[in-house]
Amino acid sequence: MSDTKHDSRVQGEGDYQSARRYRRDVEEFVARSDIEELARDAAPASEAEHREMIEAEREGRARAKGRKPGNSPSER
């Protein structure tokens, strides 16, 4: 058996300290920011930009599911 000291904090997906820090930072951001203004600023400026945003989201979702962009699920 190893004599190394084990750290009792849970790390990785169960990193509670990081989760608390993230939650605190998000709450502070929301409290200090004008969320409605940020949403208006992020909105597409044209129909073409709107289509580009929709396509980028579709490609990102496809990658998250392990598919190449442009391929339907049946083409995997």
Asked, for residue 74, whether it belongs to a domain, the answer is no
Q: Residue 26's domain spans which residues?
A: 14-68
Asked, for residue 62, whether it belongs to a domain, the answer is yes
Place of tokens 């849970």: 10
Place of tokens 């945003």: 53
- Per-residue model confidence as pLDDT tens digits over 31-68: 999 999 999 999 999 999 999 999 999 999 998 877 76
Distance CA 36, CA 29 (A): 13
Give just the sign of the alpha carbon dihedral 25, 26, 30, 36: positive
- What's the structural domain count of the chain? 1
- Per-residue model confidence as pLDDT tens digits over 10-37: 666 668 888 899 999 999 999 999 999 9
Going by the DSSP 8-state scheme, the letter that residue 11 receives in this structure is -
**Per-residue pLDDT at 76:** 44
